[in-house]
Structure 1
Amino acid sequence: MGMGDPVILAPFQRAICMQKWLMPITCHMFTYTLKDSARIWWNSQKAGSILNYQDLKAKFQSHFSQQKKFTKSHLAVHNIKQREGKRTRAFTTRYTDDTLQILGLHEDQRISGFVHGLRTRSLVEHLSTDLPSTYKGLMEKTYTWIEAREVATNGAPNDRRENFERSKNSS
């Protein structure tokens, strides 16, 4: 069980079936497989707080599941910025991936956050003239601009010359 990853429960489940263990034995044997953080978790459980193996398994998976998603607030969209020296295409992909994790994010907020996070002045100017009303439209217009720039510059990364001037005193 090592790190406590629930995926490792599968071999233990098979052992239960093969050995035909009774539930008290199953729980007892399960605890012998725990190490490191899983052992610490087990030791922190109050006596009588786990009713049976199914309860133990559910609590273990809930605590150690790597599939838990951190739910971000819609305000997090304003913290997604194009990093200094990073290409616009990379930012566009990262922004789209990051905003998909924000539940309930309105399309207007997604569009506004994208334009606000850009560091490439000419793209912001391009998008601002006739700003698309949908995120899909915004991405189509953005990728058209990116591809045109790549063709015009033979794929050379020249986004840096277009960056906004950021004053040291602005916050």
Structure 2
Amino acid sequence: MTKVEQALNEKVLELQDQIQEVIQGKNQAPDHNFHFTTDLAFTDEVRFEPLPKGFKMPTIEQYAGTTDLEDHLEAFKSLLFFQGASDAIMCRAFPSTLKGAARQWFSRLPPRSLSNFTDLGRAFLAHFMSSRVHKKTAANLLAIKQHPDESIRGFLTRFNKEALEVRNLDQMVKFQALRSCIRDVELKKSLIMDEPGDMYELFSRCEKYINLAKVLATEKEDKPEKKAQEKKDESVREAGSKRS
């Protein structure tokens, strides 16, 4: 065997060994870190807090990092508060409401960096702030006006819908906004001459005017029919008088 043939033979054997190593590598389980990351971000006090007897994780849509983070956080807090969950249990339960990018964010938090739900909530809000839905303010509410052709009921429905989108709305601000936005002259006179004491009284007054408007509208519709009937009756009486 010449030196060239021997060199080629050694090269072929070397390549065969490399191919065999690749084949064996494919059949082996990939190296993977199997440490659970569900609660490593919490301190030991939180991690080892025992679940209360009868505790059941409430059903809540998982958060992936794209929808309103404040709505998710508030919904979670309300459900866990209803069950009387402790601060530590709220911490341990919260990661199960995350998925996708939100789950990855949580798994990368520094170990033992969170000791309470307040810190967890702040970290969550800070990271996903770009997904926050901007809520309307009291200024938006004050800018609402009753349209000239809009009924009182229609306006109240629209006003209440807008008010629900204002976070932490002060009831006095809502009261003043509603009163100033009404265009109906008679109702506005009533509210100025006899100022309601609170929102309940204000809405009650508006409801009375809504009912009054219905009655007046019905009477207005009935008037032509009533006049036509009176005219018909009068014609019948005249015809009877002539025959007699």
Normalising by structure 2, what TM-score? 0.36
Q: 1:107 aligned to 2:171?
A: yes
How far residue 69 of structure 1 moved from its aligned partner, in angstroms, is 4.5
1:72/1:58 CA distance change after superposition, 3 Å: farther
SS at match of 2:177: helix
Q: Identify which of 145, 153, 164 aligns with 1:81.
A: 145
CA RMSD in angstroms comes to 3.3
Percent identity over the alignment is 19
SS at match of 2:218: coil
Q: Structure 1: which amino acid aligns with 2:137? A: S
Q: Structure 2: which amino acid aligns with 1:78? A: L
Once residues 119 and 100 of structure 1 are traced to their aligned partners in structure 2, the CA distance between those partners, rounded to angstroms, is 22
Aligned residues of 1:149 and 1:155 also touching (Cα < 8 A): no
How far residue 142 of structure 1 moved from its aligned partner, in angstroms, is 0.5
1:8 is aligned to none
Q: 1:136 aligned to 2:136?
A: no
Q: 1:56 aligned to 2:97?
A: no
1:125 is aligned to 189
Higher-Rg member (1/2) = 2
- Superposition pairs of residues 1-171 of structure 1, within 5 angstroms: 54-56=99-101, 69-154=133-218
Aligned residues of 2:152 and 2:206 also touching (Cα < 8 A): no
Aligned residues: 104
1:80/1:129 CA distance change after superposition, 3 Å: same
Q: Structure 2: which amino acid aligns with 1:75? A: A
Aligned residues of 1:118 and 1:124 also touching (Cα < 8 A): yes
Q: Structure 1: which amino acid aligns with 2:208? A: T
SS at match of 1:102: coil
Q: Structure 1: which amino acid aligns with 2:215? A: V
SS at match of 1:144: helix
Aligned residues of 2:182 and 2:188 also touching (Cα < 8 A): yes
How far residue 85 of structure 1 moved from its aligned partner, in angstroms, is 1.2
The gaps in structure 2 that reach 5 residues or longer are 1-31, 33-65, 67-97, 105-127, 221-244
Give every structure 1 segment of 4 or more consecutive aligned residues whose post-TM-superposition deviation is greater than 4 Å: none
